[in-house]
A = this chain, B = another copy of it.
Amino acid sequence: MISNRDLAVDIFQISTGSTEPIYRQMVEQVRRQILGGQLLAGDAMPSVREVATALGINPMTVSKAYSLLEADDWLVRRRGMGMVVAEKTLSLDEASSRLALLRPSLERVGTEAKQLQLPAEAVLSCLSEILNQNDHDTNTQK
């Protein structure tokens, strides 16, 4: 069995050291997981308090992220029953569409690699390694 606490930890990977605000990290992660299909329409999100205690952050920070996601129709509020993943009209089944969402981060890597004068092969093999590691994690986790 998976507790709600684990659910919160599973959904959110927060890095407090980043300049990216916590609430924004949460918003982006939920968006991507909805688009990626890990979070399906109707899935219940862990409650504000659960997430807050699991991640050791303030409930209002979580609430802010949830509110923004609700305002953009990614989540729906069920009165007194928490937040649920909304049914998005737009579907991004096509991997190519989802790839477009990754592009800004890839271009960031591109400029950084260029400035560091790194050969393309080195960068690609390093990324390949990271991606395979992720797959491995996912598989063993199942």
Interface residues of A, Cβ cutoff 8 Å to B: 13, 16, 19-21, 24, 29, 32-33, 35-38, 58, 68, 71, 79-80, 95-96, 98-99, 101-103, 105-120, 122-124, 126-128, 130-135, 138
Number of this chain's copies in the assembly equals 4
Q: Give CA–CA (A135, B114) in the complex, Å.
A: 8
Cβ distance A19 to chain B, nearest Cβ, rounded Å: 6
Chain B contacts of A123 at CB under 8 A?
99, 102, 106, 127, 131
State whether B124 touches A102 (Cβ < 8 A).
Answer: no
Q: Give CA–CA (A134, B13) in the complex, Å.
A: 31
State whether A131 touches B110 (Cβ < 8 A).
Answer: yes
Chain B contacts of A102 at CB under 8 A?
109, 112-113, 116, 118, 123, 126
Other A-B pairs, 17, CB within 8 Å; known A105-B109, A110-B133, A120-B131: A13-B111, A19-B20, A20-B20, A33-B115, A58-B80, A95-B119, A102-B112, A102-B123, A103-B126, A105-B108, A105-B112, A106-B126, A106-B130, A110-B131, A120-B132, A123-B127, A124-B128
State whether A134 touches B109 (Cβ < 8 A).
Answer: no
Chain B contacts of A114 at CB under 8 A?
36, 131, 134, 138
